[in-house]
Amino acid sequence: MKFIHAADIHLDSPLHGLSAYPDAPAAQLRNASRDAFSKLVELAIEEAVAFVVIAGDLYDGDWRDHNTGIFFSKEMGRLKRAGIPVFLLFGNHDAESEMTKKLTLPDNVTTFSSKKPAVHRLDALKVALHGQSFKDKAITENLALRYPEPVAGYYNIGVLHTALEGGTVHANYAPCSRSELHAKGYDYWALGHVHEYQHWAEKSDIVFPGNLQGRHIRETGRRGAVLVTVENGHAQVERLYLDVLRWENLSVDTSDSLSMSDVARQVGLRLEDLLSVDGHVPRAVRVTLRGRTRAHGALFGKANELRAEVLGQIAAIGNDRLWLEKVKLATEPFGDKADIGGRMDAIADLQEILEEAATDPEFLAQLRTELQPFFGKVSADVKEEVPFLTLARAGDFGALLKHVSPALLASLMDGP
Amino acid sequence: MRIRQLQLLKYGKFDGASLEFPKAACDFHVIVGPNEAGKSTVRNAISELLFGMPLRTRLDFRHALTEMRLGGVLEDDTGGLAFHRARGRTPLRTPADEPLPEGHLAPFLGTADKAFFEQMFCMDHAQLVEGGRSILDGSKDVGRVLFQSAAGIASLGPVRDALEKQAGSLWAPRKASSDYALAAQRFDEASAELKGAQVKTKVWSDAKSALDEVMNDIATEETRRLTLEATRARLERVRRLGPSLLKLRATESALAELGEVVEFPPTALADLNAGGADLSSAEALLQARASDVALRRKERSEVSYDPSILALRSDIEALDAMRSLCANHPRDLPLRQAEVERLLDDARTAALQLGWSTGETEMRASRPTALSLKAVTNLLRDRGGLYQAMRSADEAVRQRRADLDGFQEDLAALASAEVAPALRQALDEALTLKNSGARQRTWMAAVEQARDKLAHALAALGQWQMPVDRLRTMALPSPARIAALQRHRNDSATAVAHAREKLEELQAQAVRLELEARHFEHAHKVVTPTEVHEARVSRDGTWGSLKRGDVALATGASALDAAIRLADELVDAQLGTATEAARLQSIRQQLALARADVLRHEQLFSARTAELEQLDADWTALAANTGWAGMPLDDAAVWLVKRDEALTAQDEVAQRQRELDEEVSSCREAQAALASALQDAAVVVPANTELPVLCSIAGLHVSQIDSTQARRTSLAQQVKQAQRTLEGLKAAAESAASQHQQWQAQWAAALRSASLDAASATFAEAEGAVDLANIVTDRLERADAIRRERIDTMLADLEKLEAEARRLATEVDPAFLALGDWPEVSRRLSQRLREAVGAAQKAELADAALRTAQASENDADLRVRETRARLGPLLALAGVESVAEALPLVERSDRRRALQQALAEAREGLIRDGDGLTREAIEAEVAAHDPAEVVGLCEQAKGELAAVGERLSVLVRQRVTAEQAFSAIAGQANAATAEAKRQEALAAMGEVAEQYIEIATANKLLKWAVDRYRDRKQGPMLQRASAIFSELTLGDFVKLGVDYEKDAPALYAKRGTGQVVEVSGLSEGTRDQLYLALRVAALELHLENAKTLPFVADDLFINFDDERSKAGLKVLAELSMRTQVVFLTHHDHLLPFIREVFSEDVNIVELQREVA
């Protein structure tokens, strides 16, 4: 007997942090969450699985487009035509969504009640599924405690949306411990909520399949669901990689580079390496440049040129396979601050003055006045990934100046 | 640090070269050489010696990259270091090639790296010009000018411009094309798109309800429509079928009336009528065909012909063709024979000239073969060449022999002579001194110049001037000792100054503390324990006096009360001012300490002053003892240098004088030797002839003899050459003669063989005889051809015609034989044949016409019989014999069939239009309705149906709209796509925001920092640069200043006349000088605090005129007192100026261009 366990599908949840540029594969990847879900359905049909379990967070809670529900319903229709039942449990996001209540689903989809734990039996397969959906967004009680006893002679699956033992990344909903789950005596716990894949194969198999499709740079690496094969009451869990766009954080050491084009070449080589595994899956890549490099000055203030250089490399590799999220500059100037000080020339004097800026009230006031019009203009929606903006708005320029000063000096020494 | 020696061991074009930079008061070194001499290589070498060689270089054209090596000696106050610089992992090595650690040069170089060195300590013309331009670019901003000049970079302006531009393109207020504005616009568009595309769940529910409702309404109206449709159909049926029913009943009764009828097929009537007509026409045709056959038989019997001649038809036709062919033969034969005769006549004429017999047979026998004739022709062709070769070879032999005789005569006429070796040697030696006069004048001038210099040097010694010999023997303290004394005195003077400063400071502090204590006391009314103690002592004393009875109670009581009150008040006051008292106490303690310090430092100051005075007294004594009475210690070192210069000048005078004397003596010796050698060679010269004249005479003599000798050698070689050539020519002439003889032998034989010897007395006759022989052969061959191809063929054709005509005439008509004219016989046979052929064709036509007529007769007979057979069955069915009898019976049968057909059609109509009802049901329906009302009822039903139809169509439209609204929500991804675009725009906004904040901050920071830099550096730098600039511009400009009235403080230069000129108003050359002034000023300020490195100036003064070059050199001279200056130039003309500014002894290293 084979079944698929998926969770945290977040249908139609957008990709964050990717700006569209002319050659970006934006058009084909904007609906990545749908495409990944369609792949899941195709695979279920192909593998002729006995049933599919979805352990919560089908939609984003604040997503209001009913088309998403219709799309889900249509995909369920495909599974119905293939004779595959689906067991659907609602998590914190689904509980918020109006769609959950109104959507008419095909009769192959069984939803778990949010009022009390329920058992759904598949007598022909001797499988019993236990579960309870979230009634509202924030369930902080331990739902697992009230799950029923296992059905004797059946393969018992507990379906639960939980933060388990309280990770910090995800809200601590329906908390419970692994030992509590083991103690329940089920064979398999199909969990959802935590977006990273985890599997504890002890007394029971406790599995987080991870989310189906990464949506931002904090969700890097391969994503998908799991295919569970049960033979003689023993489960074998195999990961299914269904993401249609994979997020990667590529750190490039530029210590040996002398110029921007050197850096771009180096990045190009690393990008090619990246595609040596699962080369058919397009990537959203953040390139972080690191290292003490002579090119530090040449890179500063040239974000657009640098981006264009990296995009040039991407064009050579294949624009349809790589989508550049951003090029982040984390390089440091070549040589020591003390070395510049030791020169005792105008550059050394300037370094000393630049260091004073961070504590000079007059300069800080001037800088605030300079940036204020921009702060007034910049949209409140811009908040992620711009730490300097947040700090500077709050009047904290320390980190910004610490970042800008050495680069400015290096750029003066190298010429513009 | 300075470089004492630079070794270019294996580097660029150099191989083992070494440049020395000895230390001097002005540490200035000139490297001069033309282009391509290696100045740039030396400049590179200095940088690479100090800071290492790069991975790649263009200088590996002579030595392999791995072998390249530099060496050098560095030195500073602490000592020197010799080392080598190679490539590879351990580039620093000892001269013995042992590796040195990486940081081995650090004590000399400090933290400087190559970039810093080249930026700060190297300068060439291009950088000077670039610097001048950068000053112009930044002329409105003195901070930028100062910073760029001090740092030796030109990037500040471009960096700032780039930041400004970048920030502007990212974001600017009210700029719609900025990156941020564009991203924000995309964001707004995507937000609007999202709003339009998003479908809330309630919208979907409403759409679904609307669709369900309209579907229900449609179902209700549909039911009503069906009911009305049934009523309308029934009424329509009644109206439609009523008349049909009546007609059906009438047909049924007419059929019953007709009774029994013989049944014929439906076509019987037509068959009978047609069969009767066919029969009568067929019988008439048969009759006409029979009479036609009889007529054709008669016509055939009238035609006859002879068939035997037709059997010979092809032979007779062939004979007639042959007759046509031979028609012209009798006329042609005599013509061809005459032509043969003409050709034979031509042949005979030619044979006669050749001396041959003229009979045709004889001519044929005498004809030479083609081979022998060809041999004669070829020999004739070769003869001219062979004869000409023989003649030419003879002529060449004669010519060469004449040349040889001429050479030998010339050689015998030339006399032989030799130059004496003594003369030659004397001349060589004299030639080196030929221009000695000019040199002697130069040496004399040099002696004078050296003497002047000595006089100057002695004058520079001032009041301590004395003769050179005394100067040389003076027992003076060494420079090191003077330096030590100076240091000692400086230290002592500094110590005195410090002591004075400290003393003054402490005295001031003591005064301040005293004042403070006084003020504090005054302000706080502090009661000290001493005062309390004193009050208590006074109280106790008063009480003691009372107790002891020293004072009467009456008189002392009030004093005691006052003393007790005072003591108590003081105690109370003391308690209230404890803090102030402690503070006062502390101040007083500080005051005491300060006074002690003052005392101690007064003593120290006295000691230091005494020490300094002692030092000065010692120096005065020392100076007096050494003949230096009154010499200030600070001037002693300089005086020593000047004394050294005087001594050196004296040495130079002696040296120059020695060189002049040597030159004069060498010149005299050479003159005597040359005169004597000329005498020995018998050349007469007047006594006391000058050396240059002697050189010319001797030179002319030697060159004449040498030239005769050369001519002899050349002639001897020409004789040998001519003899060798003559031998070769003789052999060639013999060979040509032998070939000609051989030809003559072959010629006689060939003539004989071709039977042409009789007519070939000369070569011209022989050529004619060959032509005649060819004519004979040609004419005979053409006569043969005419006979063979024409005459013989015609005779054969005529014979053949006769034989065939004879044969055919015998078979057809022997009477023709008697005619004898065979062409005529042939013509008559043809005539006979044509007649027979015509008759035979006629008979054939008559036969064919008869056969056709007989066939037509048979056809007519068959048609009559067929028609009768067709009518047979119908007549039998009717039971009658003729067609006319059968016709009424057939018409009755047709009437019955028509009635039956009408009945069947009526029944079928009932079934078709009766909507499936039986006849009975229809009859019942028709009977149930009054025919007069049916139409009205029907129209009413139709009206109601139309109303229902209209309602339905409205509902269907509503359904379409509802369906569209509902199916529009089909799970499409428009909203998701719009949200994705919104997020993309948001990401772009975030990126731009981050960049903008960085760039704007950098821009602001740079402006602020440069202003700060200006605030701090402007004073000292401009002060020093003003002086240098004034010197460089020869006093045209006297001051540099800053104009604060501008938006950003701007630099200006002030002329000696007081006129103020902005930087943009300076000429290009002056701007370059300004830049140089700022750079040198910055360098001097830098050197005050930092380690010194050599300053490398590469062809800096290319665009400077002589005076300004000199001024520039003076500036560098001042710099060279602080650090080593290496000055590279390819201008020789600068050297006199350099010597003038520095001294004749300035170190000049000359590089030579390598000759390829």
A67–B970 C-beta distance less than 8 A: yes
Q: Is A365 on the interface with B (CB under 8 A)?
A: no
Give B31's strand partners: B1128, B1149
| Cα–Cα dist A104/A152, whole Å | 33
- Neighbour order of strands in the sheet with A198-201: A118-122, A127-131, A155-161, A188-192, A205-208, A198-201
pLDDT in tens, B26-74: 899 999 988 888 888 999 999 999 999 988 888 888 888 889 999 999 9
pLDDT, mean of residues B783-798: 85
Whole-Å CA distances, B849 to A300, B286, B293, B856, B860 = 122, 18, 9, 11, 17
Ranking B237-241, B254-258, B932-936 by mean pLDDT, the lowest is B254-258
A381–B971 C-beta distance less than 8 A: no
User: CB-CB: which of B120, B184, B984 is closest to A18?
Assistant: B984
What band does B879 get if pLDDT is binned at 50, 70 and 90?
confident
Gyration radius (Cα) of chain B, Å? 76
B975 versus B582: which is more confidently predicted? B975
Which residues of chain A lie closer than 8 angstroms to B979, CB-CB? 12, 14
Element spanning B1051, H or E: strand B1050-1055
Q: Are B647 and B471 in contact (CB under 8 A)?
A: yes
Q: Which of A412, A413, A414 would you mutate first to test chain B, the one with the most B CBs within 10 A?
A: A412
Backbone conformation region of residue A190, classed left if phi is above 0, alpha if psi is from -120 to 50, else beta: beta
Q: Residues of A numbered 141-170 whose beta carbons fall under 8 angstroms of chain B's beta carbons: which are they?
A: none
pLDDT in tens, B90-102: 899 999 999 999 8
The pLDDT, as a whole number, for residue B556 is 80
pLDDT, mean of residues A31-43: 96
Q: Is A372 on the interface with B (CB under 8 A)?
A: no
In the predicted structure, residue B1060 carries a pLDDT above the cut 60: yes
Q: At a CB cut-off of 8 Å and minimum separation 6, what does A20 contact?
A: A26, B981, B984, B988
Q: Is A402 on the interface with B (CB under 8 A)?
A: no
| Cα–Cα dist B382/B493, whole Å | 125
In the predicted structure, residue A290 carries a pLDDT above the cut 70: yes
The pLDDT, as a whole number, for residue A245 is 95
Q: Are A17 and A384 in contact (CB under 8 A)?
A: yes
Q: Which residue of A has its CA nearest to B1079?
A: A346
| Cα–Cα dist B476/B483, whole Å | 13
A102–B993 C-beta distance less than 8 A: no
In the predicted structure, residue A184 carries a pLDDT above the cut 80: yes
Whole-Å CA distances, B186 to A31, A329, B183 = 19, 26, 5
B489, two tokens:
């005195």
| Cα–Cα dist B373/B375, whole Å | 5
Ranking A384-388, B453-457, B854-858, B1011-1015 by mean pLDDT, the lowest is A384-388
Ranking A79-88, B317-326, B405-414, B750-759 by mean pLDDT, the lowest is B750-759
The pLDDT, as a whole number, for residue A415 is 59
Mean pLDDT (chain B) is: 86
Q: Cα–chain-centroid distance for residue B932?
A: 104
Kindly report the backbone phi and psi dihedral angles of residue A230, in degrees, each rounded to the nearest multiple of 5, phi listed first.
-110, 120
Element spanning B1038, H or E: strand B1037-1043
pLDDT, mean of residues B407-424: 81
Q: Are B808 and B829 in contact (CB under 8 A)?
A: yes
Q: Residues of A numbered 88-127 whose beta carbons fall under 8 angstroms of chain B's beta carbons: which are they?
A: 98-99, 101-103
Ranking A157-161, B20-24, B141-145, B460-464 by mean pLDDT, the lowest is B141-145
Gyration radius (Cα) of chain A, Å? 26
A349–B983 C-beta distance less than 8 A: no
The pLDDT, as a whole number, for residue B387 is 83
Q: Are B108 and B72 in contact (CB under 8 A)?
A: no
| Cα–Cα dist B812/B790, whole Å | 34
* % of chain A surpassing 90 pLDDT: 66
What band does B1156 get if pLDDT is binned at 50, 70 and 90?
very low
The pLDDT, as a whole number, for residue A188 is 97
Q: Are A54 and A60 in contact (CB under 8 A)?
A: no
User: CB-CB: which of A301, A304, A373 is closest to B163?
Assistant: A301
Secondary structure class of B1135 (helix, strand, coil) = helix
Q: Which of A23, A336, A404 would you mutate first to test chain B, the one with the most B CBs within 10 A?
A: A404
Length of chain A (residues): 416
User: CB-CB: which of B147, B205, B983 is closest to A15?
Assistant: B983
pLDDT in tens, A340-380: 777 778 888 899 999 999 999 999 999 999 999 998 888 88
A167 versus B128: which is more confidently predicted? B128
A344 versus B1009: which is more confidently predicted? B1009
pLDDT in tens, B169-179: 999 988 889 99
- Neighbour order of strands in the sheet with A322-333: A246-253, A283-293, A322-333
Which residues of chain B lie closer than 8 angstroms to A351, CB-CB? none
Q: Which residue of B has its CA nearest to A62?
A: B200
A69–B163 C-beta distance less than 8 A: no
The pLDDT, as a whole number, for residue B73 is 94
Chain A / chain B CB contacts < 8 angstroms? 241
A371–B997 C-beta distance less than 8 A: yes
User: CB-CB: which of A64, A345, A371 is closest to B198?
Assistant: A64
Q: Which of A334, A382, A384 would you mutate first to test chain B, the one with the most B CBs within 10 A?
A: A382
pLDDT, mean of residues B719-740: 87
pLDDT, mean of residues B982-1008: 92
Q: Please enumerate, as own/partner, the contacts of B561-568 that have beta carbons within 8 Å and a separation of 24 or more.
A: B563/B535, B563/B538, B563/B539, B564/B539, B566/B535, B566/B538, B566/B539, B567/B532, B567/B535, B567/B536, B567/B538, B567/B539
Q: Residues of A numbered 11-40 whose beta carbons fall under 8 angstroms of chain B's beta carbons: which are they?
A: 12, 14-20, 26, 30-31, 33-34
Mean pLDDT (chain A) is: 91
Q: Which residue of A has its CA nearest to B161?
A: A416
pLDDT, mean of residues A183-190: 96
pLDDT, mean of residues B1035-1063: 86
Which residues of chain B lie closer than 8 angstroms to A99, CB-CB? 201
A366–B1004 C-beta distance less than 8 A: yes
pLDDT, mean of residues B841-862: 83
What band does A168 get if pLDDT is binned at 50, 70 and 90?
low
In the predicted structure, residue B757 carries a pLDDT above the cut 70: yes
Secondary structure class of B24 (helix, strand, coil) = coil
Ranking B197-201, B253-257, B1013-1017 by mean pLDDT, the lowest is B253-257
What band does A384 get if pLDDT is binned at 50, 70 and 90?
low
Q: At a CB cut-off of 8 Å and minimum separation 6, what does B1002 contact?
A: A300, A301, A404, A407, A408, B163
